[in-house]
Structure 1
Amino acid sequence: METYAQPTADGARRGAELAANLAAVRDRIAAACASAGRPRADVTLVVVTKTYPASDVRLLAGLGVRDVGENRDQEAAPKAKATEDLDLTWHYVGQLQTNKAKSVAGYADVVHSLDRVRLAHSLSAAAERQKRTITALLQVSLDEDPARGGVSAADLAELADVVAGAPNLILGGVMAVAPLGVEPARAFAGLREIATRLREAHPTANMVSAGMSNDLEAAIEAGATHVRIGTAVLGVRPSLR
């Protein structure tokens, strides 16, 4: 049986805050889909809960959230363990080091940040040992900045073939972050072209993870199937206040 947060006064206040924020984000997604002429069901909301506690995950689950994202394994692993009784899909959305592949493979259903062949092999081996299947999205660099991670468009086809052939991995599609200083609409239009080329070689790789709190509308207009939203749902993170 799924269990959610206890109805304490603090929990009720936080639940009301999350409910209001979540409703506003869902409205934004629905409006963006309507503007783009896309069905609302085309877009999955992944709520990124980094720096927030497992109790918030429980409150969000009670509000109908089923897709939860994290970007640091040291936070994600215990949070996933603490909420394993809930029916959630866990998305790992941060840069992933090879030495963390074993841990991430234990809970992540979708990894959005696969960007090199060595990591593909490590994640595949870890998933195989744990008898799990992971959907892998290829993180594409839209500005060739190595600090931000991502495979170059020129190397994408080779990596896609490796992932498609790797045991216990499913090639899901692509992910990208709009580069700093670049208009999101222009960046995501480039990602749309990359995603289209990938589907020509791998027709089932139809996921496009793009868009965050500030640019989800531009991402949806450009064909995003998954938007990764943190601040707009959970509030400004404590470390950023």
Structure 2
Amino acid sequence: MTDRKDELAANLARVEERIAAACAAAGRAREEVTLVVVTKTYPADDVRALAELGVRHVAENRDQDAAPKAAACADLPLTWHFVGQLQTNKVRSVVGYADFVQSVDRSRLVTALSKEAVRAGREIGCLIQVALDAGEGGRGERGGVAPGGVAELAGLIARSEGLRLGGLMTVAPLTGEYAGREQAAFGRLMDLSTDLRRTHPTANMVSAGMSADLEQAVAAGATHVRVGSAVLGVRPRLG
């Protein structure tokens, strides 16, 4: 375990250096960017080691992995983010441990989250996942609502009991006009965030950037970066 913790500490230090350098280059304070470590496919022991190393935000994308891990780490001072595509039949379980759902992309999901948050007596922060590769009215191949659908979904979240509109999230598109243009994609998300905050001033979270493109996200103005492999190593393939 000591070797693994040392490995995680070294990886975490390298990621921290990258974020700090990106903030400096963008003229931003380091405190403006929150590191969310994506721990999917890795065990609760890794989460515990990360918490001992000072990590406070962790993310998962599959409820069947996340629920037991969150339960095993319930004693730790962690904020849990759910970042994967979420089916409505998993909502009750996810609401039990997630503080934020970053992948809200349809009204049916909002309704289900609200119902379960009220039942559990919790308030869930919701980020709207924006699909920058989606045609107007469509959804992206990795989930998400088209930019034109953000305002309507934001209004629904803001009106829904048990939910708090946190802001926006995106994944850099692999296809379409933003393919290979991460900085431009994240800049577009920032423009959408500016529009959103005119109506919902407190919805100021912008979650963008992962291990390969966190610098571009910080340069664009992201408030949260979601980093997995750069901290935990390359994940084993799932069967």
Equivalent residue letter for 1:37: G
What's the secondary structure of 1:171's corresponding residue? Answer: strand
Q: Report the number of matched residues.
A: 230
Mapped pair 1:15 → 2:13:
no
Aligned partner of 1:189 in structure 2 is: 187
What's the secondary structure of 1:146's corresponding residue? Answer: coil
Residues in 2 aligned to 1:235 and 1:190: alpha-carbon distance in whole angstroms: 30
Residues in 2 aligned to 1:146 and 1:208: alpha-carbon distance in whole angstroms: 18
Residues 151-188 of structure 1 show CA distances to partners (whole Å, capped at 9, x for unaligned) of: 11111111000000100100000000000133111111
1:42 pairs with one of 32, 38, 55:
32
Residues in 2 aligned to 1:89 and 1:160: alpha-carbon distance in whole angstroms: 22
2:160 pairs with one of 149, 157, 166:
166
Residues in 2 aligned to 1:147 and 1:184: alpha-carbon distance in whole angstroms: 17
Residues in 2 aligned to 1:146 and 1:183: alpha-carbon distance in whole angstroms: 16
What's the secondary structure of 1:147's corresponding residue? Answer: coil
Aligned partner of 1:149 in structure 2 is: 143
What's the secondary structure of 1:45's corresponding residue? Answer: strand
Residues 1-24 of structure 1 show CA distances to partners (whole Å, capped at 9, x for unaligned) of: xxxxxxxxxx00000000000000
TM-score (norm 2): 0.95
Which stretches of structure 1, 4 residues or more, deviate above 2 A after TM superposition?
none
Residues in 2 aligned to 1:86 and 1:56: alpha-carbon distance in whole angstroms: 12
Aligned partner of 1:112 in structure 2 is: 102
TM-score (norm 1): 0.94
CA RMSD of aligned residues (A): 0.9
CA apart distance, 1:223: 0.8
Residues in 2 aligned to 1:146 and 1:47: alpha-carbon distance in whole angstroms: 24
CA apart distance, 1:146: 3.4
CA apart distance, 1:238: 1.3
Aligned partner of 1:207 in structure 2 is: 205
1:179 pairs with one of 162, 173, 180:
173
Equivalent residue letter for 2:80: W
Mapped pair 1:102 → 2:100:
no
Aligned partner of 2:228 in structure 1 is: 230
Aligned partner of 2:215 in structure 1 is: 217
2:54 pairs with one of 50, 64, 73:
64
Residues in 2 aligned to 1:211 and 1:14: alpha-carbon distance in whole angstroms: 25
Equivalent residue letter for 1:98: T
Equivalent residue letter for 2:169: M
Unaligned 5+ runs, structure 2 = none
Mapped pair 1:29 → 2:19:
yes
Aligned partner of 1:131 in structure 2 is: 121
CA apart distance, 1:210: 0.2
Unaligned 5+ runs, structure 1 = 1-10
Residues in 1 aligned to 2:113 and 2:48: alpha-carbon distance in whole angstroms: 28
